[in-house]
Structure 1
Amino acid sequence: MNNDDPYGQFADVMRGAMNNHSRQAVSGMGAVLGTVTSSGVKLDDFKHEVQDYLVAEFPGTLTLPEREVVGAISGIGDVANGGTTSVGRFLLQESEVDEANWSLGKGLKPGDRVLAMRVNSGNDIVVLCKVVSANA
């Protein structure tokens, strides 16, 4: 660039300022790994434990496919005054459960690795899911 070109110098200054501004705007944003503790979540890129965080829930309709399960049945009324226990196979038809809610927070334990997302300009943390090794 020619140092005598004030427009070129101005363009370079503006480009640098915009790059810095963009970098600052997105710093502290995005997904990050963390570990659940007994009183919060510790993000890998933040030195303090976050005690006030959010956990994703997934409300909706749960569809269960047709399946066969084996289980115990007890108290059969027609045999020995209902005192018989036996093992049987049960064919469960496809069904839907309305207003089902998968609550991730109830299944997390200290030491679990999680994927978290920063939202609201980095002011809030939402734990999205538990992460495990693909080789486990």
Structure 2
Amino acid sequence: MVKIRLKRAGRKKLPVYQIVASDARSPRDGKFLEVIGTYQPTAKPHAVTLKKDRVEYWMGVGAQPTATVRSLIRTTGLLHELRLKSRGRSEAEITVEMEQWQASKVERSKKRLVVKSRRRQAKKEAEAKAAAGSEA
């Protein structure tokens, strides 16, 4: 069975992962069939690059992505695109759907930033209140 998984590269405390197609029996950093992308978790925001045609090929022949790689593929939108292709949608429909997906992704990230800023503000207010209470 072929798995699509992460292979660690980079140096100590600064990991860079290659997304590879490999036999499920081979070790994590061992023999692999093909490099199909990279993942840099230390970049802000995380950097994921994929060879979309090769990911599509390997998943088409039955390769199973690990949970982590599946989530990385999902964040790029490729998983949604492959699902649309498997349902027989035309290229025009797929491009329209992917533009909508990108817009919703931007909207979700904006909402997340608003929630984060509210939490930070509430935490600052709580700390200020606690500091004022301890002084009195």
Larger Rg: 1
Q: State TM-score, norm by structure 1.
A: 0.22
Structure having greater relative contact order (Cα 8 Å, sep ≥ 6): 1
Q: State TM-score, norm by structure 2.
A: 0.22
- Higher helix proportion (structure 1 or 2): 2
